Amino acid sequence: MLCCKRKSYYVAAACIFAFTLMILYYLWTQGHSLLPNITPQEGNFCRGELASNTITAIKGTRAFIIAPYFDNRKSKITRVIGIVHHEKVKDLFCWFCCQPDGEIYVSTAAIEVHSDRFGFPYGAADLLCSEPQNCDPNFVSISWEPKGNIDQLPRFEIKNRKPETLPIEFTVCISPMFGNYSNVLQFIQAMEIYKILGAQKVIIYKNSCSQLMEKALEFYIAEGTIEIIPWPITSYLNVSSRWHFSMDSKDIGYYGQITALNDCVYRNMYKSKFVLLNDIDEIILPMKHPDWKIMMSGLQEQNRGAGIFLFESHVFPKTVYASTDIFNITSWNAVPGVNILQHIHREPNRKNVFNPKKMIVDPRKVVQTSVHSVLHAYADSVNVPIDVALVYHCREPLQVKLPRESLIRDTTIWRYNSSLIMNVNKVLQKTVF
């Protein structure tokens, strides 16, 4: 009896002991899972140096950061737009510093390399960092290792934390300008037509251009129309001026065009109702509406739920001139570049060849964009028929051997002739002449 009573006493003690162990273990595992994440550090107030360039190389790995953007469309994350080597970059860590205590929070970045790399080893990438629950950090740092001193890492301001209320209707995002770009006349004409059609902002990712182009850019910066994003990608990578690796086996295609376009979409997500993604030699030209605003409200009405509008590109060869001399303006002959008013013949469609598309997007609906379509979006894409609008693309011919009679005469661009000539002359007076 006594022995048994004592036995049950021991069993109870063992039970309590085991239970206590379980509690302790539970608490330990809970704490443990938090430990590598939240490490309060005394006297740390997030003092890492602010990254000052558009492109920042991350030490110890083959990754480059453009900019982080707050993105709570699906969950609370920081989306860092970057460029990575698609194989060599395996792990990246996001370091957040929560104010006012300087508490550090480290999370593993999900690295999403965009699928449209076109064979090049480097490509656009989104680094997705889950944010701490209990603070809204304004800065993030990226490292290849989860330990170290955050003060040694460059820190990046997380943009879009406080959305603005779409003060702008149309922003044009232009693909990187490179190769001592000097087509000044066509550039000024494109700018003036964009403005006539409704652009309030044009974003230029500038790698290189001629002295005279600099003057034109300065004019539009002072006017408030152009925002320049320096794009010194050639200091970091060997870039191709072609779009596919098989044409030119360098590190990255087309001066990092895809990364620039993605950055532009996020940069203007809460600033601009619509973003146009095209090259400077392209104009999305309405065929029946006077401007983009009226055209887009029509297109939105007919396509509820659409957020991406695709426009067919049509080549107007710069080698084929209008037969009349009316828009051969004498003073413009002194300005380097193409006079688009003289090019009103477009190449016909080819059998089995798709015309590439350019886009007007609602940036808030875009997750990842490519050049001619979006890769991932929260809205539908619609193809806009060419009786509504087309992309006027004035460049070298694609169908070189085509006789003039086979081209389609299309004088839509002439609709803007008088205001265009007047506006271009004003700009030339203040820049080139």
Ligand X SMILES: *[C@@H]1O[C@H](CO)[C@@H](O)[C@H](O)[C@H]1NC(C)=O
| Residues that bind ligand X in the complex, under the rule CB under 6 A | 180, 182, 210, 236-238, 321, 325-326, 328, 330, 333, 336, 342, 411, 414, 417-418
Task: For tokens 């360039």, name the residue.
Answer: 53
CB of 134 to ligand X, least distance (A): 41
Which residue, 260 or 361, is less far from ligand X as judged by CB?
260
Q: Which is nearer to ligand X, 188 or 360 (CB)?
A: 188
Is residue 107 classed as helix, strand or coil in its secondary structure? strand
E strand map for 237-387: 272-278, 282-286, 306-317, 345-346, 357-361, 366-369, 374-377, 380-384
Which letter does DSSP use for residue 99 in this model? Answer: T
Check if the beta carbon of residue 120 is closer than 8 Å to that of residue 240.
yes
The SS3 of residue 58 is: coil
Indicate the residue among 399 and 417 with the shorter CB distance to ligand X.
417
Nearest-angstrom CA–CA distance, 176 and 230: 9
Which of 338, 340, 354, 329 shows the shortest CA–CA distance to 392? 340
Q: Which is nearer to ligand X, 195 or 271 (CB)?
A: 195
Least distance between ligand X and beta carbon 416 (Å): 7
Query: Whole-angstrom Cα distance, residue 119 to residue 258?
Result: 14
> Measured from the CB atom, is 13 or 326 closer to ligand X?
326
CA-to-CA distance for 71 and 266, rounded, in angstroms? 9
Could you tell me the smallest distance in angstroms from the CB atom of residue 265 to ligand X? 26
Judged by CB, which is closer to ligand X: 243, or 321? Answer: 321
Q: How far is the CB of 123 from ligand X (least distance, A)?
A: 15
DSSP code at position 386: T
User: Least CB distance from residue 290 to ligand X, whole Å?
Assistant: 12
Separation between Cα atoms, residue 372 and residue 386, nearest integer Å: 16
Q: How far is the CB of 181 from ligand X (least distance, A)?
A: 8
CA distance 407 to 185: 24
The residue among 207 and 313 lying less far from ligand X, judged by its C-beta, is 207
CB of 49 to ligand X, least distance (A): 23
CB of 218 to ligand X, least distance (A): 16
Rounded to whole angstroms, the Cα distance separating 325 from 333 reads 13
Question: Cα Rg for the chain, rounded, in angstroms?
Answer: 28
Cβ nearer to ligand X, comparing 184 with 190:
184
- Distance separating alpha carbons of residues 87 and 280, to the nearest angstrom: 33
